[in-house]
A and B are shown apart, each in its own frame.
Chain A
Amino acid sequence: MAKATFRIWRGNADNAQFVDYETEVSEGMVVLDAVHRIQAEQANDMAVRWNCKAGKCGSCSAEINGQPKLMCMTRLDTVPLDEPVTIEPMRAFPLIKDLVADVSWNFKVKEQMRPFAPRPPDAEDGTWRMEQEDIDHVQEFRKCIECFLCQDVCHVLRDHSLHDEFIGPRYLVYAASLEMHPIDTENRLEELKNSDGIGYCNITKCCTKVCPEHITITDNAIIPLKERVVDEFYDPIKKLFRVFSR
């Protein structure tokens, strides 16, 4: 059986460094399998998050040779094995230990967003009527598995650390899924412009490129939201209308 070296980030917020582990690799293995094998045979106390191992839960996000990916969906035959494979935690968030980053900020952001509020039901049995074509876009956004790879790769968060002023691509997609939901009645444009900081996004599409669910984050979610914000707050005719209607 072939062997390969994995250069894994070990340690906590106070002290961490790469440690090399050599382990056996076989056909069909993914990066998470190698990490598990190292954990079971050489480093029992290594911290790594994972659950479904099938790309459905979004737990095992990491940076593999510098690329933000799900470890469970990254096959070893897509990575060069003649040199060490580096595996690091997501860098846009504080480190807890080894491959586990503190992603709690994401959960707080969602809690602060204005929740779904449906219109009264369409039918007497308390249900709504919606056409499939009207929900296709929103279903695309709802495929999100909350792996936070888009947050990890976003310059505004990763390089500029504007976590207090910008909610990041994940939550712009979430906002889009609520704003475009056929039966939602809220209007979130003001907070999108102000506290959510949609203006910080300069559409480099890095988030779209790393999304394991292939959600077209920038084109289908962020740009339409930006357009709505512009229409609402910067449209000269609307502005004029607002002046006169005061």
Chain B
Amino acid sequence: MASYETHEYDVLIIGAGGAGLRAAIEAAVGDLKVGLVCKSLLGKAHTVMAEGGVAAALANVDERDSWRVHFADTMRGGQYLSNARMAELHAQESPDRVRELEAWGALFDRTQEGGILQRNFGGHQYPRLAHVGDRTGLEMIRALQDHGIHQGIEVHMENTVISLLKTGDRVSGAFGYEREKGRFKVFAAKAVVLATGGVGKAYKVTSNSWEYTGDGHSLAYHAGAELIDMEFVQFHPTGMVWPPSVRGILVTEGVRGEGGILTNSEGTRFMFDDIPELYVNQTADNPEEGWQYTQGDREARRPPELLTRDHVARCIVREVQEGRGSPHGGVFLDIAWIKEKIPNAADYIRRKLPSMYHQFKQLANIDITQEPMEVGPTTHYIMGGIRVDADSQMTAVPGLFAAGECAAGLHGANRLGGNSLSDLLVFGKRAGEYAAQFAMENQAVPIDEAEIDTIAAHTLKPFENPPTDGNGNNMGPYDIQAQLQEKMENLVGIARTQESLTQALDEIQNLREKAENVHAIGNREYNAGWHTALDLDCLITVSEAIALAALERRASIGAHSRDDYPEKEEPGAGKYNTIINKSDDGAMTVRRESIDELRANLQEIIDEIG
């Protein structure tokens, strides 16, 4: 029988980025016992890396902004595949969620009047992103962390959950290990909130860290929840491309918000060459108008560099493919040029974009106040994820909730910059609130001991597997992970076809068999190789889901581009979501579900605002 410690909670939160922390704070409002499990140290989750800002229609800078405009912008950005109720709640509640952070100590940059300053960002009609220079995520996670540690939440740092536990239909807890000694822990809980973030580590070039292996997606899928719209993976248009070791690290959209322009090797501002129909009326048709927009001219329309991320990424790929790329396979992002427009431009850039200045200076020997950066697309975010009820964030499994990046619905086919930080606040709070309510209304259910023994044995198997297979191939975890990332990058990346996706599914199947025999050296103490071996299960599950959903959607819309189906919609198919679940025989299946018509009052907003 496996040996393990047991911890009992009313509500267990898995993940301590913005969504997990916000959920934990909310669940702890009453006198419920709340546990929070995270893979890293507290305050290190990916939220810390968010740069540009948090989107909320505070209307501090432009009084024409309102939740209705934010709603319409989010729906348009998501190509009308978003869950409208989530987009409505998000737009309505994000201003309160941002203001509340100030009550917990956050200090956003200020307007002249002393309110919260807001900046322009791609796809947002008005300056809407509350920010702190280009380190907004750090400010948010620190405010949540510093408030959260005084709410009586029990935190398990550097612990990883391997499997959810179910008793009958209901979730009854989770099984995991702590890194330091590799000991097992069982977390019994009446309600569980997944807030595990994204899946970036399935790809070779990514802005995500080692943690982003799709744990929540995979845990929920295996527990019987549905995944929705998994084909929509956001490739952020501007990641670093040089030197090779920093490839993929994010360059904030804030650079373009402050006036940065994209040019190719011929010096052309290529973004003016291709402006999608949906955005023609909102986009500047000359450089001067675009510049005026970034300087706060309310009559000017936004420059094409601030079109949605999916579109900008595709334009960059086109420039590179057609031979007009930069020396290291990207394009140029230039903020230094603003010295033609404003005095003391170098100081201005360093003040507005301090961490970008620092990052390029230190990692690439480039002074962004003097010369252009080289940038290219990097896997950044997944719009798809665990299907949840819009109001409560509960999944199809009773007692199991999800919020933040691992949940889906708000962003549709493409997420607007700034909408993820507001997403995790709004729906983190809701998940915490409804999980607490569920815990109050339901008794604890006993945990099945036999199930724990099976999972524990599986968790230790990598130590027993041989180091090479019958053909002498290395079965180490890093090799298998690298092979998966290579396949996903090449076959399920920005440009996809039926052929590439079918091949990807075959390759993923081979890698799944390999992963079952993955070998770990050493012992259970803080063993990175063993941890990587255990993460493979989740990575392979989400990779299969992404490829399968991408194969199902025979159209090119938002972040999903099919070279063999360039049209936005398949004739006669209408608007639909792709839904993935685990069938009774254990195989992954995909189906389509039509999107309901909008509620009349929401349709009116779209009709009026566009």
Verify B521–A56 contact, CB threshold 8 A.
no
Q: Is A187 an interface residue (CB 8 A)?
A: no
Given A27-B244, A96-B180, A143-B135, A57-B48 contact (CB < 8 Å)? yes
Give A71-108 as 1s and 0s: 1 = Cβ < 8 Å from B's Cβ atoms: 00101000000000000000000001110100110010
Complex interface: stretch among A37-45, A152-160, A191-199, A228-236: A37-45
Which B residues are CB-close (under 8 A) to A124?
none
B200 to chain A, nearest CB (A): 12
Verify B109–A57 contact, CB threshold 8 A.
no
Verify B477–A56 contact, CB threshold 8 A.
no
Verify A116–B146 contact, CB threshold 8 A.
yes
Which A residues are CB-close (under 8 A) to B530?
45
Given A130-B114, A138-B107, A56-B48 contact (CB < 8 Å)? yes
Verify B103–A126 contact, CB threshold 8 A.
yes
A102 to chain B, nearest CB (A): 8
A204 to chain B, nearest CB (A): 25
Which A residues are CB-close (under 8 A) to B529?
39, 44-45
Roughly how many angstroms separate A139 CA and B138 CA in the complex, as a whole number? 11
Give A30-58 as 1s and 0s: 1 = Cβ < 8 Å from B's Cβ atoms: 10010000011100111111111111111
Give the most central of B41, B48, B242, B477: most A CB within 10 Å. B41
B155 to chain A, nearest CB (A): 8
Q: Is B503 an interface residue (CB 8 A)?
A: no
Verify B244–A28 contact, CB threshold 8 A.
yes
Verify B105–A110 contact, CB threshold 8 A.
no
Roughly how many angstroms separate A229 CA and B476 CA in the complex, as a whole number? 57
Verify B245–A146 contact, CB threshold 8 A.
no
Interface size in chain A (residues, C-beta < 8 A): 59
B65 to chain A, nearest CB (A): 15
Q: Is A145 an interface residue (CB 8 A)?
A: yes
Which B residues are CB-close (under 8 A) to A138?
107
Q: Is B528 an interface residue (CB 8 A)?
A: yes
Verify A97–B525 contact, CB threshold 8 A.
yes
Interface size in chain B (residues, C-beta < 8 A): 65
Q: Is A246 an interface residue (CB 8 A)?
A: no
Which B residues are CB-close (under 8 A) to A57?
43-44, 48-49, 209
Q: Is B363 an interface residue (CB 8 A)?
A: yes
Roughly how many angstroms separate A111 CA and B154 CA in the complex, as a whole number? 12
Verify A52–B528 contact, CB threshold 8 A.
no
Partner of A51, one of B113, B211, B355: B211
Roughly how many angstroms separate A121 CA and B100 CA in the complex, as a whole number? 11
Given A28-B243, A28-B245, A40-B478 contact (CB < 8 Å)? yes
B224 to chain A, nearest CB (A): 31
Verify A59–B40 contact, CB threshold 8 A.
yes
Verify A28–B99 contact, CB threshold 8 A.
no
Q: Is B364 an interface residue (CB 8 A)?
A: yes
Given A127-B102, A130-B110, A55-B362 contact (CB < 8 Å)? yes
Verify A97–B249 contact, CB threshold 8 A.
no
Q: Is A162 an interface residue (CB 8 A)?
A: no
Q: Is B142 an interface residue (CB 8 A)?
A: yes
Verify B527–A54 contact, CB threshold 8 A.
no
Give B93-104 as 1s and 0s: 1 = Cβ < 8 Å from A's Cβ atoms: 000000100111
Verify A47–B41 contact, CB threshold 8 A.
no
Verify A129–B49 contact, CB threshold 8 A.
no
Which A residues are CB-close (under 8 A) to B242?
28
Give the most central of B49, B250, B478, B526: most A CB within 10 Å. B526
Verify A29–B528 contact, CB threshold 8 A.
no
Q: Besides A45-B528, A59-B41, A135-B110, 16 other CB < 8 A contacts?
A: A45-B522, A47-B528, A48-B528, A55-B358, A57-B209, A58-B44, A59-B44, A96-B526, A100-B526, A110-B149, A115-B146, A116-B147, A128-B114, A129-B115, A142-B139, A184-B105
> What are 5 of the A-B contact pairs (CB < 8 Å)?
A51-B40, A54-B249, A54-B363, A104-B157, A184-B105
Smallest CB-CB A-B distances: 3 pairs: A28-B243, A44-B529, A45-B522
